[in-house]
Structure 1
Amino acid sequence: MDDTRRASPLERLVEAAETRTDDEVSDSLGELLTASPEDRKRALRELRRLADDRPTAFESFLPAVTPFLTDDERAVRLLTAKALVAVAEADPDAVAPAVSALAERLADEDEFYYVRARSAEALGYVALDHPDAVASPAVLADLRVGLSFDEPEVKQKLAKALECVALGDPGRLRHRVSALAEHLDDGDELVRYHLCTAIAGVGCDSPDSLAAVRGALSARLVDENAFVRGRAAEALGLLAGERGDRRDHGESVAVPDSALGAESDEAAAFVAERVGFLRASMEGDTAAAASTVEDVGTLAGVRRTTADAVTEITSPDAEGVCPHCGIDLPEGAPPMCPSCGAPY
């Protein structure tokens, strides 16, 4: 007798993942929809491991995964969204068919906020390669409006998704720059960084569209975070380069010396390169601006440097301190900040 026929759907899922029989993965997932909550959670944890090992495999059985986004168990929905984030980061093509399902989770105000956050993050990664699939007016509205009302963890992912849209197709946000700039003074440095990066991305394609937010960007030149200051300087440099030397028209930007201060060598280099780009652009020296550093002021450069910048921003400055908001963390507590709610 064939032993696999007596195996549970969960056991067959694990075996199929290990033996790379993706058709069996799909069949097992279909049966697991009616399994116990604990088995469904274990199945999604297995899928999460598979997402790390073989993200491209998801393309073949994605239709069997997306129903778990509406599972009755919150933990199952969150595990599903996390798995799709991992896949989308490595292989956006594989998750593109799930855009509608992810957008529904994002739009559901009653959904657990971490599920909404992860759904937004997955949508953002897809938008880098497939902006047309993600950047519908409805999805962009959900991303933008949520910046005013959502939990800190959700706002970070919303801002990140908007950044991804801008880096995938800057024109999609050209007429929404002012709305993004309204949140450049957000209390969360990651939100400020992602939005400055989104605006800089738009500026790479349409520098003049940043004119209306010059003041908001200039205010970020004294931001407490060097990477935010750097991106703001880069965006302002793009605007200055487009308009030429406008000092006689009252449109120059004062760059305080404090803008160059930084807490690490990486941050210092990041902000110095972009302040140099801004100053050269304001002087009307386009050759100097272009040669300040490779890729500064280009969409490719913004895309290339943003992940490393986020890594630097989220690296804890001190042991026992939340990397997101800086509050002292209690010993022995769950890995979630009691102040901002972000995991660490």
Structure 2
Amino acid sequence: MGIFDALTGIAKAIGIGILLWTLIVGLVCFGLGYQMSGRVISVTEEYASGVSSENSDLHAQILTITGQYDQMKLDLEYYKKISQDTTARADGLSAENSELRARILSLEWERDNLKRDLDFEKFKANTANQTSNISPVTPVQTEQITTPAGAVYTPSFNYGTWSGRTTYPSIKSFAGVTANVVAFSNGKTFEQLVNSIRSLQYISHANDNGNYAIQYADETIVKGGGDCTDKVLLLYACLKAQGYDEDKMAVASISDCDGVYNHNVLAMEDPPFDTGGVDSQSVFVLGGRTWYVVDPTNWTGTPVWQMMDYYQDCYRVGNMHFYYTDTLGGWSEVPMHGLKVSR
């Protein structure tokens, strides 16, 4: 029993020792753990504080950027409005500029026509005493006639107003064959027809529709006169009524080479008269075709191909209008700056 008791005592002592050792180790570990947890908490608190401070800075930056963005949106709308106002103003000025240019062109055209009318009246006054000496027979003309006295023509249709018409010599619009056109041209030779139209009164349109007034062929007969554009359109309509090939006739818009006077004549590819004695100034080549000028505004008693004095030395063909290519732009074969014809 003594040995057993001794062993039991030793075992108890060892167990107590282990218990104490465990307790000591536990206390030490607890202390170390507490110390470490405090350090971790401290570091965590420092990190959280840093993150919180950074977040505050980020929030401040967000607010700043948001403010800048809102201001930029306001600035954008402001400058958009300025841009729109400037564009509208520019468009308005451009439109005003176009209107002023159109007005200038209209005034220049009116001035030129008035000058032409003045010169024409002076020419008539200066040559009034000479007309009796003009031979009634010319190299291309066998007889002169005028509209029979007492002939009365009434409108074949409602002519309407100036503003409802095109402002260029549109053959389709103005050179229609009506009963009046047929009656006016019936029985006349080419020379007789040209001189019948020449004998009609010259009527200026300087005060009509801003000088952009054109009469119908029927209307020129009824009124008993017209300007150069009206007369050439009437001649075209009469020749059409007599069966002349429309592809070989065109209304040619010409001007003198100084750019002072404007005129309209008929250009014919195969004219119904002897071309042997035609002045070279009354012939031009365009589009690979030879064209002869017929001027229904010139004096009766002069050759049908002879133009008014302003154009006998030098003129420029600015446009040609055909029935089949009846547009404002005219014939594409005409050079951009016109065809110059000079002696």
Report 1 or 2 for greater relative contact order, CA contacts < 8 Å, sequence distance ≥ 6.
2
Q: Which has the larger radius of gyration?
A: 2
Please give the TM-score of this superposition, normalised by the length of structure 1.
0.25
Greater percentage in strand: 2
